[in-house]
Chain A
């Protein structure tokens, strides 16, 4: 279980890695892209690829960072290693804030942190033999220059990574070995500098089903033998339960739930986590047809993220406080019209007028081309149906200057709060506003 210690508020500027077993302390980390704005995007918002992310990585743990494509999990992994620009927040490692280091200051630390990428084909230089490729970091970091010694170390590491006998692989080229073996070579190259932290970004996603289990097994064995700590980035929830000690669920650049992996799998507390876990297809026909309670829609555009809780437009349990806004009403009507019969659709479209004529902002939706006498009763009737979560956030429906205007209550962005031994950013557990 997560100790209460981990969940206590941090004191910025302190690092106690060695005392409390926390190897990496990430605080309010931000990686925003493109807020300078070019000629083509004069008033562009920044893309908040990673926004206000806070978590602890304990020594010896496997921390699984899980999310859909575009959730920012890869950028977060790269930001931690200084491979993506950090625009705010702190990453504490051994009393040093990595986010403040220059590239030059960071370089000597790199040998203590390794990264394994998804595609082994793209991570290996095809012109280098395996012994050259795997031994390369030893030269780069000035750990070892002696050719014989390098060969000995590479041979040891290849054997550790299950490439036995190493002599068979040493002088061949990456193209000579299979995909699974290539990923073993990549892992060997990552571990040759004896790092303590390994960031593994989808290490098995590109591999065939039958090989995945073997590579995961290798990673687990190496963790035990070499005392590694992993940040394991994946979109695949199925391997997470077996592999991870801790889990962090990301959505649109933010951590929505993190803590003990078993607790999260057994009893997810954020509706998004619940939805992700429920959506995983199970190889068990007896659970066929179970109610998955799937969220509607897809992960929104990061350039224009939803207000309040970013998951609210899709959330099956969203309520008043979740951040409803004008554009949600347009989306609601569009979605509704895929479910009603053609006559109802035509009638309602005639009442609302074209949806392109609806002007929306954070707190309102204004129907500028509507037939008001039909739209007002239509909206009031929809409002009474409690299945339509959006109307929990509607404060007022009225006519203003000839337009029908729907107003919404304020919905603040939720902050992480302790719930059942883990951290959750959801207003269902009490409205806690992010500062």
Chain B
């Protein structure tokens, strides 16, 4: 259980814009253990989707990536396309938001599987591939009798199940899911999350779940990483972070969740900073309700605030030791490149 399958160090992603480089992800460290699910949350524009795309190596042209992402010890940053194609599917699966746009409307569902399996194992017999498809579909609750139907003959929830089945047919050990249920209704969403959870336990999959919905994280994740302005500002076990958040941003985010128990509306004033020109010091300082002088000049780093949780906030001793550490990391990165 403690075996780390995904190890992210100093991950940076920058987009070239007419006004300069925009660092959408700016120095992220994160580990995911075998069988562990980690939720990645934050407001729109915090960098969580960019980070997901970077992990999947699906960044648009013009984006630059630096740092290190190791999947079971293999470095993914700068990997050759041929090797990447093998890893995607066999080691790592991706689940997206819009299942219909990822399935070929002119291909039977079973043929999607045959094609995917043959791409990885060219010598697989068709009958064997079909049996693998049927098993993966059944695991996701799709009747085996429907394997030869076309994508349009399935409902939205079933298409998403098919996509997940396609992702796991080669038995990968890491899944990255970017808002996998956002387009679905609440009951179907709960069904899919249930299935993903069961799958993760049965197959000991590592899972990164990118979502804006804190309820989903509370219900399906072991740990949560809260992102703000391209960085992780707090990371720890879901039970700890949700009941006793240490970073003022996490506190504000949790307060602003509207749930069936909500009796008072709350929100975080202001909006996330422009990453072309981020504020000096703590990036959350302009919106923080606990800000003090040092916050405007000292850029805090992630510091342990309990045995399992870290937060990047100057309210916690040690977070100010970061300036040197960050400079050293940047230096190292520059020499590596």
Contacts and interface: CB of A to CB of B under 8 A. Distances in A.
Interface of A: 68-69, 178, 208-214, 216-217, 235, 237-242, 265, 275-277, 279-286, 288-289, 292, 294-295, 298-299, 334-335, 337-338, 342, 345, 349, 354-355
10 contacts: A209-B212, A241-B261, A281-B215, A282-B219, A283-B215, A298-B188, A337-B143, A338-B137, A342-B134, A342-B138
Given A334-B146, A337-B145, A213 B218 contact: no
B17 interface: no
Interface in B187-246: 187-191, 193-194, 212-219, 238-239, 242-243
B187 A295 contact: yes
Contact of B218 (A235, A265, A281, A299): A281
A208 B272 CA distance: 12
Contact of B185 (A289, A299, A349): A299
B187 A210 contact: no
A69 B186 CA distance: 10
Nearest to B42: A209
B158 interface: yes
Contacts of B194: 292, 294
Contacts of A295: 187
Given A284-B242, A285-B242, A355-B145, 11 more contacts: A178-B271, A237-B260, A238-B262, A277-B260, A282-B261, A283-B254, A285-B243, A334-B143, A337-B144, A338-B138, A345-B144
Nearest to B238: A285
Contacts of B43: 208-210
B259 A69 contact: no
A241 B262 CA distance: 8
A68 B187 contact: yes
Contacts of A298: 155-158, 185, 187-188
Contacts, number: 138
3 tightest CB-CB pairs across the interface, nearest first?
A: A281-B215, A334-B143, A68-B185
A281 B196 CA distance: 15
Q: Is the interface of B mostly helix, strand, loop or mixed?
A: helix
Nearest to B155: A298
A239 B258 contact: yes
A349 B187 CA distance: 29
A212 B257 CA distance: 9
Nearest to A71: B185
B146 A282 contact: no
B267 interface: yes
Given A275-B187, A298-B188, A265 B260 contact: yes
A338 B141 contact: yes
B189 A279 contact: yes
Contact of B267 (A214, A288, A292, A337): A214
Given A276-B187, A345-B144, A209 B256 contact: yes
Contacts of A281: 189-190, 193, 213, 215-216, 218-219
Interface residues of B, number: 52
A184 to B, nearest CB: 14
Contacts of A354: 145
A163 to B, nearest CB: 15
B195 to A, nearest CB: 11
Contacts of B213: 281
B290 interface: no
Nearest to A340: B138
B297 interface: no
A349 B134 CA distance: 14
Interface in B124-140: 134-135, 137-138
A285 B267 contact: no
B238 A235 contact: no
B335 interface: no
A279 B267 contact: no
Interface string B28-70: 0000000000000001100000000000000000000000000
B263 A242 contact: yes
Contacts of B294: none
B141 A235 contact: no
A288 B188 CA distance: 18
A136 B108 CA distance: 52
B246 to A, nearest CB: 16
Contacts of B188: 298
Contacts of B156: 298
B79 interface: no
Q: For A214, A216, A238, A355, which residue has the most chain B Cβ atoms within 10 angstroms? A: A238
A292 B190 contact: yes
B274 interface: no
Contact of A68 (B146, B186, B216, B257): B186
B258 A212 contact: yes
A238 B259 contact: yes
B258 A213 contact: yes
A284 B218 contact: yes
B144 A338 contact: yes
B142 interface: yes
A282 B259 contact: yes
A424 B105 CA distance: 41
B268 interface: yes
B212 A279 contact: no
A69 B143 CA distance: 24
Contacts of A211: 267
B15 to A, nearest CB: 20
Nearest to B45: A208
A208 B46 CA distance: 12
Contacts of A284: 218, 242, 259, 261
B141 to A, nearest CB: 5
B266 interface: yes
Q: For A68, A213, A265, A299, which residue has the most chain B Cβ atoms within 10 angstroms? A: A213
Contacts of A342: 134-135, 138
Contact of A294 (B187, B238, B266): B187
B258 A69 contact: no
B126 to A, nearest CB: 18
A355 B143 CA distance: 11
A338 B143 contact: yes
Nearest to A217: B265
Contacts of B242: 283-285
Interface in B279-308: none
A299 B214 CA distance: 25
